[in-house]
Structure 1
Amino acid sequence: MKKLIVDNISIQFPKQSELLLNAEFYCDMHEIIGIFGRNGSGKSTLFGMIFGTEKKGSLNIKINNTLIPRDHIIPKKHIGLLPQHHFLPKSYLVKNIITLFFPSDEGQNKIFYSKRISSLESKKIGALSEGELKYLELLLIGHLDHSFLILDEPFSMVEPLYRDVIHEFLLEVKKTKGIIISDHYYNDVLNLTDRNYLIKNQQLLVVKDINDLVSNRYISP
């Protein structure tokens, strides 16, 4: 079973104190871990560093104790990323986006036969609700051939119906991948995760339950 280890994490922006200093965490396949932190704590920067698109800061990425260069993450398809901001072109039809992502019938069928997609496939991307669009993006990224998946705010602004659909889909993805997730909708995250961390005082603190989020003043009692 594969294990993703990220250590020696250091993030510092100009004119700011370090957001993370020599922090570390791990994620096993078949596991969902949550990373919490206030706005500006460095979550999205950390995710971009792991994925290979963010060159700020420093860290080591290992898979089963084999060091993986940051510029190998994308071409070697070790880790997939669902970014915080939408990335699909608004003028495309949903069905055309699916065929662009997955040229083979087998790949396309995984998406076309997913829950609720039949009602969306003839719509334009720009006409989708926040929940529909986030769900589609998650389906596309989640079915790519990666061992690990990073999700940056998958529940943000998503209507309750699609939060439930996304929750169900992520439990299915967990059967074949390891998942790292961050979202301010902390109950949605805690209902999914096996382990959790909180970015605070330059470290990734272990979070056992919602009481730790309260005691560390991430949320109010």
Structure 2
Amino acid sequence: METSTEPNVLDNVSFHVNAGEFISIIGPSGSGKSTLFKLITGLEQPTSGEILLNGQHDHNRLGRVGYMPQQDLLMPWRTILKNAALPLELKGVAKNNAHQRVLELLEEFGLKGVEHKYPRDLSGGMKQRVSFLRAVLSGSNILLLDEPFSALDAITRMNMQAWLLEKWEKWKTTILFITHDVEEALFLSDSVFVLSETPVQHLEKINVPLGRPRDFHMIHQPEIIKLKEQLIEQLRWRVTP
């Protein structure tokens, strides 16, 4: 997948993601992470170059990838069932069929029994599960997750990280994950892309030296602690006071 856009944000950037990889993207605020996602989803178009999804170029990329934003964006007037079914309805799936598809997945997503509740009735972690289910129901094998756990408390965040890995290891979807948390990036990912220049002309790729499956104790290995410190220091010097 290659992309290039406005010189003041991304300038002739080229990178490739293998099918089934879990890639985290880190960088200072304003470094182009969200712009990159807007380009991939089709919300914005590059001024030059091209973006390939599953090896194919498509100018109209809207709806071709699953997207989970930082905030859940659930509609407060719709039940959890109807919120989750929204991407299927937008694709023209009959309402009854869309609802049945959601019902089949509720237990797997830890949402069984809350389908008739409203977003206000759910915890932050539960809302993010609904948001993730909605992204999965887009039908794409590519998921873009934009700081989905940043608003959660520490314990809920750890539980959601472990839950996300469990789902990813089962489905082997391709995940691009934006985060400001270096430790989160190292725990979740196969590799980390570092945006450390403005405009971005190169994505530095750091391979994470951890096997799978993973648990939280692995993040305390000496080589991971050293890598974390190096990445934090690298990003710290790129932040304007």
Deviation sequence 1:155-203 (CA, Å, 0-9, x none): 1112323542353234423533111101123322221100111111223
Larger Rg: 2
Question: Does residue 30 of structure 1 match 2:48?
Answer: no
Question: Does residue 194 of structure 1 match 2:218?
Answer: no
Runs of 4+ in 1 over 6 A off after TM superposition: none
1:131-142 paired onto structure 2 within 5 Å: 131-142=125-136
5+ residue gaps, structure 1, are 13-17
The normalised TM-score by structure 1 is 0.79
Q: What is the root-mean-square deviation in Å for CA atoms of aligned residues?
A: 2.7
CA shift, 1:65, in A, is 4.4
Q: Could you say which residue in structure 2 is the equivalent of 1:87?
A: 73
The normalised TM-score by structure 2 is 0.73
Q: Could you say which residue in structure 1 is the equivalent of 2:175?
A: 179
Q: Quick check: 129-138 or 43-52, which moved more? A: 129-138
Q: Partners in 1 of 2:188 and 2:149 — Cα distance?
A: 12
| Aligned mate of 1:74, from 34, 51, 62 | 62
Q: Partners in 2 of 1:163 and 1:140 — Cα distance?
A: 21
5+ residue gaps, structure 2, are 89-96, 208-226
Q: Partners in 1 of 2:159 and 2:87 — Cα distance?
A: 24
Q: Quick check: 96-105 or 126-135, which moved more? A: 96-105
Structure 2 counterpart SS, 1:151: strand
Q: Partners in 1 of 2:77 and 2:138 — Cα distance?
A: 23
Task: Provide closer, same or farther for how the CA distance between residues 165 and 119 of structure 1 changes in structure 2, counting only shifts above 3 A.
Answer: farther
CA shift, 1:35, in A, is 0.7
Asked if structure 1 preserves the Cα contact closer than 8 Å seen for 2:4 and 2:50, the reply is yes
1:21-170 paired onto structure 2 within 5 Å: 21-55=11-45, 57-63=47-53, 65-66=55-56, 68-71=57-60, 73-74=61-62, 77=64, 79-102=65-88, 103-104=97-98, 107-159=101-153, 160-161=155-156, 163-170=158-165
Task: Provide closer, same or farther for how the CA distance between residues 119 and 59 of structure 1 changes in structure 2, counting only shifts above 3 A.
Answer: farther
The amino acid of 1:108's aligned partner reads: V
Q: Partners in 1 of 2:117 and 2:53 — Cα distance?
A: 39
Q: Partners in 2 of 1:74 and 1:205 — Cα distance?
A: 27
Q: Quick check: 143-152 or 160-169, which moved more? A: 160-169
Q: Partners in 1 of 2:136 and 2:206 — Cα distance?
A: 26
Structure 2 counterpart SS, 1:60: coil
Residue identity (%): 23
